[in-house]
Amino acid sequence: MSENTRNATGFIGYEKLRVVAKSNETEKLYLDNYKNFGWEFEGYEPSVQDITSTTMSFKRDRKIPNKSELTRLQHQFDSGIREIEKLESSKAVHASVIAYGLGLIGAGFTAGAVFAFLGGSTALGIILAIPAAVGWVLPYFCYNRVLKSKTEKTIPVIEQKYDEIYGVCEKGHSLVCA
């Protein structure tokens, strides 16, 4: 921070911020880029949400120049991070829904085959067991294929979002260093 914000006694008033990162990737983004909005990393705190998230603590001079513009840019950055997180999770969600659906169909055929065998209809049980086996194996391959397809579609959008947030960081850096 700049020395000109100190008063005659050398006092600097700080504002505090806690940020919860949901993944290692977003944690690194916050650590690397929040300094562009005037924030200094203070350390990690115990996470109150869940074990997969990380809580970080930051501080900033309360009388930093261009504070309102830096805050606006920081909100744009945070919004971009949330959009990237949603895009990343949407890849697996779509593939999982399809795989679970196929697995349920396979489970239905398995139940039908079991009831057919118990009812004494061996031929019907065998006929139902074939799609049941396919219904238990097919989801794995469908999941991988849909995940790959969805990843190929979302990577350019995610890269565009990264470019946007880095542009916001450049603007913030120019205001902090001005």
Residue 6, pLDDT > 80, answer no
160 plus 112 within the same structural domain: yes
Residue 57, pLDDT > 70, answer yes
123 plus 113 within the same structural domain: yes
| Confidence at 22, pLDDT banded by 50, 70, 90 | confident
Highest mean pLDDT among 48-52, 90-94, 162-166: 162-166
53 plus 133 within the same structural domain: no
Task: Report pLDDT for 1.
Answer: 35
Residue 41, pLDDT > 70, answer yes
Residue whose C-alpha is closest to residue 117's, from 131, 102, 127, 105: 127
pTM of the predicted structure, to 2 decimals: 0.76
Task: Report pLDDT for 45.
Answer: 85
pLDDT tens digits along 110-131: 999 999 999 989 999 999 999 9
- How many domains are contained in the chain? 2
Higher pLDDT, 7 or 32: 32
| Average pLDDT of the residues in 23-50 | 87
Chain-wide mean pLDDT for the chain?
89
DSSP conformation letters of the chain? --GGG--TT----EEEEEEEESSHHHHHHHHHHGGGGT-EEEEEE--SS-TT-EEEEEEEETT-TTHHHHHHHHHHHHHHHHHHHHHHHHHHHHHHHHHHHHHHHHHHHHHHHHHHHHTT-HHHHHHHHHHHHHHHHHHHHHHHHHHHHHHHHHHHHHHHHHHHHHHHHHHHHHHH--
| Confidence at 52, pLDDT banded by 50, 70, 90 | confident
57 plus 82 within the same structural domain: no
Task: Report pLDDT for 72.
Answer: 94
59 plus 77 within the same structural domain: no
Distance CA 77, CA 47 (A): 22
168 plus 102 within the same structural domain: yes
Percent of the chain with pLDDT over 70: 94
55 plus 71 within the same structural domain: no
59 plus 93 within the same structural domain: no
Residue 5, pLDDT > 70, answer no
pLDDT tens digits along 143-166: 999 999 999 999 999 999 999 999
